[in-house]
Amino acid sequence: FASLVAGSMIASGFVIPMLVIGALMGRIYGVVLCGIFDYFGWDTQVIDPGVMAMLGGVGFFAGVSRLTTCLAVIMLEVTADLPHLLPIMCSVMVAKVAADFFVHPLYHALLQVKCIPFLDVTTGVRKLSCFRASDVMSVPVVTVHEHATVGSLIQKLKDTRHNCFPVLKMETEEFCGTISRHGIELILSQPHSVLAASDLNSKSN
C-alpha cells in the first residue's frame, strides 16, 4: 500500500514496508544459501535465515532512507542481541554506500515530486560582519514614537511597505526598540474606548 500511495497526500508509512521487503529478500537469500550448502554437503548451521532476514531489512531500510547510526541503534534495541551489532553496522554502511552511488534518498525524491525547493547548504551572503545597518535600510528612516497617534500610525502603514519600524522616545529621540507592521496592525485592530483629541483630529484629516 505504501509503495502505491508514495508521493500522494494519503497518509502512509514507509518504515514497516521497507523492513518487510528487505526481510523477505534477506530470508530468500538465506534459504537459497542453505540449499546451496546442503547440496555440497557443507554445514548449514553456520547460516541462519532469520539473521539474514534481519540484515536484509536493515540494509534495505538504510539504502532507502540513508539512516546509519540511529538505524543500527534502533535495530539493536529491537532485537536485543548485542553480538549482531557488527553485522548490522556492516549491512547499514554497505547499503548506504551502494545506494549513494546509484540514486539520491527517497525523501529527497519526494521533495522533487512535491516541487518543494531544496535549500543549499551554504548561504548566498557571506561575511555579514562587513555589512552595516545602513546597507539594507532605506533613507530617510521611517520611525515611530512611543506615544504616536492613531492617525500617524495609519498614515505610516499606507505610505510605506516596511515590515518593521524603529521606536524612538518622544523627548530625546533615543532608540528604544522596534515594532513590526503586524504588531501595529494588531494594536490598531483592538477596540479603543477612549481616544485623545489629537487622535480624532488626525483620523478626521
Distance CA 178, CA 137 (A): 14
Residue-wise pLDDT for 20-62, tens only, equals 888 899 999 989 988 888 888 888 777 888 888 889 989 998 8
Q: What pLDDT, on the 0 to 100 scale, is given for residue 82?
A: 83
pLDDT tens, position by position, 167-178: 888 878 788 888
Tell me, what amino acid is at 112?
Q
CA distance 20 to 26: 10
pLDDT at residue 106 tops 60: yes
Q: Is the pLDDT of residue 195 over 60?
A: no
